Amino acid sequence: MKASAYPSLLVLSLILAACGGGGSGDASTPAATVAPVATEATPSTSGGSLAVAAPSDTAGTPAAPAAPSNNTTKPATDTPAAPVTPTTPTNPATPTTPTAPTTPAAPELVEYYGDSTVWGYRTHTGGQVSVPPPVAFTAALPNPAAFTVRNEGVSGSTACGLLNGTDGRHQPWASQMAASKARYVFVNHAINDQWTYDLNTYKGCLRSLARTAKQYGKQMIFETPNPTRDDVGIMANAMKEVAAQEGVPVVDQYKYLSEYLNGQSAYAIVPDGLHPTEAVYVMKGKYAASVFTSLFIK
């Protein structure tokens, strides 16, 4: 080819390139341009180079949005949920009413009246023994805590002095009983009365003591004297006579201790002729408790 022809050929090539020529197929239809979609690089199994994902089938069409995952929470609707009606228990428990605490019963009061052999005069040396009969009486009861026993003994006193309020300690008997809270009332008077009054006066005073105590709701109990150097058995019999007439129970200490002596002199139990030894005071209290228990404690 001649050298002058090269320019013509060059011009022709540029024209063809501008018109899309030089490729195979229909020259009037331009080829679609496909833009590659870059994806996350995945390591190549053949050594360190990055693989490129294949392009989508439709050029220029955006991919459909991904479906929401199962973890997406469904938004609440505008309509509020219906309120839940609380159910009524079929058998509601009935509340229990607390019971008031039980108040223990107050101890019953026993008043023990008498002379020095009730108070507990110590033979020969004077003063009061450590365990007078009312104390031994209380200790010998089946339930000592259920009773309060007051020693109302007065040395040198008599039944008539107790009745008239002249024993040096108590007011007249009617006032004494009106003010007393005692349920049970013991009276042991005889030894000093024997030297002061005749039998009829003595029995009259005992009768008034019993009737007045009963009038104020008391349970009267007579107690005969312990044996002494004198024949105090006469006074013991007079007391039992009044007791039978007035329906008053008797703790017969005279009989009990006379049987204990079994023919011995009274001085075996009353060294000064009148007042028992400490051991005999306790015996008197225990015996009185045994009779009282048989009569009033079931």
Give 144-187 pLDDT, tens digit per residue: 999 999 999 999 999 999 999 999 999 999 999 999 999 999 99
Q: Is residue 63 part of a domain?
A: no
Q: What is the CATH number of the domain that holds 250?
A: 3.40.50.1110
Phi-psi region of 263 (alpha: psi -120 to 50; beta: other; left: phi over 0): left
- State how far the Cα of 211 lies from the Cα of 220, in Å rounded to an integer: 9
- Of 45 and 247, the structure prediction assigns the larger pLDDT to 247
User: Which range marks the domain in which residue 214 is found?
Assistant: 108-296
Contact 221, 292 (CB under 8 A): yes
What is d(CA 154, CA 111) in angstroms, rounded to the nearest whole number?
A: 13
Residue 60 lies in a domain: no
Residue 207, pLDDT > 60, answer yes
Assigned domain for 165 exists = yes
With respect to residue 240, please indicate whether it lies within any of the assigned structural domains.
yes
Is the confidence at residue 52, as pLDDT, over 80? no
251: helix, coil or strand?
A: strand
User: In 3-state terms, what secondary structure has residue 113?
Assistant: strand
| 176 and 165 Cβ atoms separated by less than 8 Å | yes
- Residues 196, 198, 201, CA angle at the centre, nearest 5°? 100
pLDDT at 96: 61
The pLDDT tens digits for 118-150 are 999 999 999 999 999 999 999 999 999 999 999
Q: Per-residue pLDDT for 221 more than 70?
A: yes
Count of domains for the chain: 1
Enter the DSSP assignment of 4: T
Token pair listed for 179: 């003010």
Asked whether residue 6 carries a pLDDT value surpassing 70, the answer given is: no
**Pairing mode of beta strands 147-153, 184-188:** unpaired
pLDDT value at residue 38: 41
- Which SS3 state, helix, strand or coil, does residue 38 take? coil
What is the residue type of 3? A
Residue 46 has what pLDDT? 38
Distance CA 139, CA 209 (A): 27
Residue 228 contacts by C-beta under 8 Å, 6 or more apart in sequence? Answer: 191, 266, 270, 273, 274
pLDDT at 60: 42
- Residue 153: closest CA among 185, 205, 112, 190: 112
Residue type (1 letter), 220: M
- How confident is the prediction for the chain on average, in pLDDT? 80
Please tell me the pTM assigned to this model.
Answer: 0.67
From the list 143, 240, 246, 142, the residue with the least C-alpha distance to 188 is 240
With a pLDDT cut of 90, the percent of the chain lying above it is 64
Please give the Cα distance from 15 to 54 (Å, whole number): 34
Q: Is 124 a member of any domain?
A: yes
Q: What is the pLDDT of residue 105?
A: 84
Residues of the chain with pLDDT > 70: what percent? 65
Q: Is residue 31 part of a domain?
A: no
Give the model's pLDDT for residue 298: 81
What pLDDT does 129 receive?
Answer: 98
| pLDDT tens per residue, range 242-295 | 999 999 999 999 999 999 999 999 999 999 999 999 999 999 999 999 999 999
The answer as to whether 2 is a domain residue is no
pLDDT at 114: 98
The predicted structure's pLDDT at residue 57: 40
| Residue in 269, 276, 231, 257 with CA at minimum distance from that of residue 118 | 276
pLDDT bracket for residue 106 (50, 70, 90)? very high
Query: What confidence score (pLDDT) does residue 290 get?
Result: 98
Please give the biggest Cα pair distance in the chain: 195
Q: Name the packing angle between helices 253-261 and 278-296 (round to 10°).
A: 130
Residue 187 falls inside a structural domain: yes
Residues 6+ apart with CB under 8 A from 159: 187, 189, 190, 193, 202, 205, 206, 209
